[in-house]
Amino acid sequence: MAEHFTASGTKILATGCRGWPNRAVQSFDVRSRTLALGPRPHRCSGRPLYMPVGRGLVSLVGSFTEFLDRPPPEHSPFEWSWEELEKAPFGRLDVTCHAAHPDGRTLFVSVVIKGVEATFSLDTRAEDGTWKQHGDWTLPFQGHVHFDPALDAWVGLNEDKKYLGYLCSCNVVGTDVVASSHVVPADSDDMVSIDPDAGSKCDDEEESCDDDDLPPRWRLGKDKMFCQDPCEEHHGHVLVYMGGRSKYCLMECISALDKDYMDSDDEDDPYKVEVREEDLPRYHVLRLTKFTLKYDKNRELSAAKRRRVRCYKLLPYADPFYDDIQAFLI
């Protein structure tokens, strides 16, 4: 459900296909507070992945790729529509993270296909619109990655489960670096697989190695930003870059046992029935934490001590939708 919502400029698009004209979807402009029709992707069934780059959007459904530029000026003769690009050499479910390059036109996507890692880039302004492979490695992130100009680095949540709740930063990859490895067509027409034996691999024991084939250096943050309380059950999260000097907002959905319900039990009640912990009611909360990031004197990524936290109670029957939440800064 949440994956069908995305943002372009000041507009939020609901790209679900059902119940709307062939080439239109609902569009809400948060600045003018008006509801109108926006451009519908050519392919919007299944689970689309929308990846912002510059002022545009890249859509990935299966391996089908489309690009949506920013809305044209009002009363412009140009139509606001999605442009179909060359198929991606991977599928939507293979993607581990995506990051927009600070040049405002290039998108980097890391994937894992049948255990094989790779990172690709797409120049959304190039005439050929083809994907290029940059190496047999992945960026150390999960989901949407943000470029932070103050840190001159990409920032996001770490992909490793043992570092769940930690942020990390990574050097930006150059757009002109393309690995010597290549992709080979798979049996399916809609997918290509990575040849694990193609190109050069760098091992610790090897003395000579082309730096272009190495993954970029990255730093793990010092602070655990969520999953700190063992009594809380973590459902979903999203990190939003708020601009300025490394300002961020972390949104997370959590649930915990309703202590008010537990404390209301009368121990002397002769009709009291023992209830298992998993059957006890839980309350659901949306927690927003605002903070700033910096490198300390040891060049370690750390969050400022002063943080602003707000919590909003959620409806319990919407629990299945908490795993995948969306947030936009407009």
**Residue-level pLDDT at 179:** 55
Asked whether the beta carbons of 179 and 212 are under 8 A apart, the reply is yes
**Residue-level pLDDT at 206:** 37
Per the model's pLDDT, the better-predicted residue between 229 and 84 turns out to be 84
**Residue-level pLDDT at 312:** 87
**Residue-level pLDDT at 325:** 76
> Model confidence at 133, in pLDDT bands (50, 70, 90)?
very high
- Three-state DSSP state, 277: helix
> Model confidence at 52, in pLDDT bands (50, 70, 90)?
very high
Q: Which of 149-158, 186-195, 220-229, 250-259 has the weakest average pLDDT?
A: 186-195
Q: What is the spatial distance between Cα 69 and Cα 80, in angstroms, rounded to a whole number?
A: 8
pLDDT tens track for 236-257: 889 999 988 899 999 988 887 7
In the predicted structure, residue 13 carries a pLDDT above the cut 50:
yes
In the predicted structure, residue 118 carries a pLDDT above the cut 70:
yes
DSSP state of 50: E
The span from the first CA to the last CA of the chain, in angstroms, equals 21
What does the pLDDT average to over 135-149?
A: 94
Tokens of 27: 């569009």
**Residue-level pLDDT at 181:** 47
- Three-state DSSP state, 263: helix
Residue 188's alpha-carbon distances to 62, 93, 114, 193, in angstroms, are: 12, 15, 14, 10
- Residues with Cβ within 8 Å of residue 235, at least 6 apart in sequence: 252, 253, 254, 255, 284, 319, 322, 323
- Token look-up 């139509």 returns 79
Percentage of the chain modeled with pLDDT above 70: 77
Pairing of strands 95-100, 247-257: unpaired
Per the model's pLDDT, the better-predicted residue between 239 and 304 turns out to be 239
pLDDT tens track for 169-180: 999 999 885 554
Burial of 120 (0-12, 13-18, 19+ CB in 10 A): buried
Q: Which of 140-144, 213-217, 318-322 has the weakest average pLDDT?
A: 318-322
**Residue-level pLDDT at 145:** 96
- Three-state DSSP state, 68: strand
> Model confidence at 184, in pLDDT bands (50, 70, 90)?
very low
**Residue-level pLDDT at 330:** 73
For 162-208, give the DSSP string. GGTTEEEEEPPPPTT---S--EEE-SSTT-EEE-TTSS----TT-S-
> Model confidence at 318, in pLDDT bands (50, 70, 90)?
low
Per the model's pLDDT, the better-predicted residue between 270 and 65 turns out to be 65
pLDDT, the chain, mean? 79
* Residue 312: its H or E element: strand 308-314
Pairing of strands 95-100, 141-148: parallel
In the predicted structure, residue 265 carries a pLDDT above the cut 70:
no
Tokens of 80: 């606001």
Provide Rg for the chain, Cα atoms. 22
In the predicted structure, residue 142 carries a pLDDT above the cut 90:
yes
Whole-model pTM over 0.75: yes
Q: What is the spatial distance between Cα 217 and Cα 151, in angstroms, rounded to a whole number?
A: 14
In the predicted structure, residue 305 carries a pLDDT above the cut 80:
no
In the predicted structure, residue 210 carries a pLDDT above the cut 50:
no
For 158, left (φ over 0), alpha (ψ -120 to 50), or beta?
Answer: beta
- Three-state DSSP state, 5: strand
- Count CB neighbours of 315 within 10 A: 8
- Count CB neighbours of 41 within 10 A: 23
Q: Which amino acid is at 272?
A: K
Q: Which of 92-106, 234-248, 261-275 has the weakest average pLDDT?
A: 261-275
In the predicted structure, residue 208 carries a pLDDT above the cut 50:
no
Asked whether the beta carbons of 311 and 286 are under 8 A apart, the reply is yes
**Residue-level pLDDT at 228:** 75
